[in-house]
Amino acid sequence: MRNRIVSGALALLLLASVAWASKEEREAKKLDKELKKVSLTATVIDGRRVVNRVMARQLGVSRKQLVAERKQTGFVYGQLFGAHEVGRQAGMKFDQVTGEMKQGHSLLEISEQLDVDLKQILADAKTLNKKQENRSRVRPHRERRGE
């Protein structure tokens, strides 16, 4: 009887850990989708300018810095955003996070290792995409006046 209870408890723990991993993986897939939207927006004619402006403002960095980071790393804007967010939450420098990414580690792996909240990064990425969508609807002459 005792063995059944112990084995049942172990099975329950195993299922809980699988469910937890699945939850993290689902969040990572949602985040990946949002980061791809960021990058896709940057592929259209005026999209790169919009993405660069909105992302720089949200991250609190200069547009020139984002351009330099993009050239330095070869990453698309979605990857840059993810690296900045993970670094901010983990208290790491951007270069440290991108170094991990260049070694083949995914944002999920890095965030799990550093105990980063993927839900918060997902929420920030959604906010970024909404701002980009709103900004891209503004006519170009209004953008130049800073409205």
* pLDDT tens digits, 42-99: 888 788 889 999 999 999 999 999 999 999 999 999 999 999 999 999 999 999 999 9
Q: How confident is the model at residue 123 (pLDDT cuts 50, 70, 90)?
A: very high
Find the mean pLDDT for residues 126-139.
78
Q: Is 72 exposed, middle or buried (0-12, 13-18, 19+ CB in 10 A)?
A: exposed
pLDDT at site 40 = 86
Q: Is the overall model pTM greater than 0.85, yes or no?
A: no
What's the distance, Cα to Cα, between the start and end of the chain in Å? Answer: 72
CA distances from 104 to 18, 92, 99, 100 (A): 24, 18, 9, 7
DSSP state of 116: -
Q: What is the structure's pLDDT at 127?
A: 92
* Higher pLDDT, residue 85 or 24: 85
Q: How much helix, strand and coil, in percent to the nearest 5, is found in the chain?
A: 80, 0, 20
User: Higher-confidence residue: 29 or 21?
Assistant: 29
Query: What one-letter code names the amino acid at 3?
Result: N
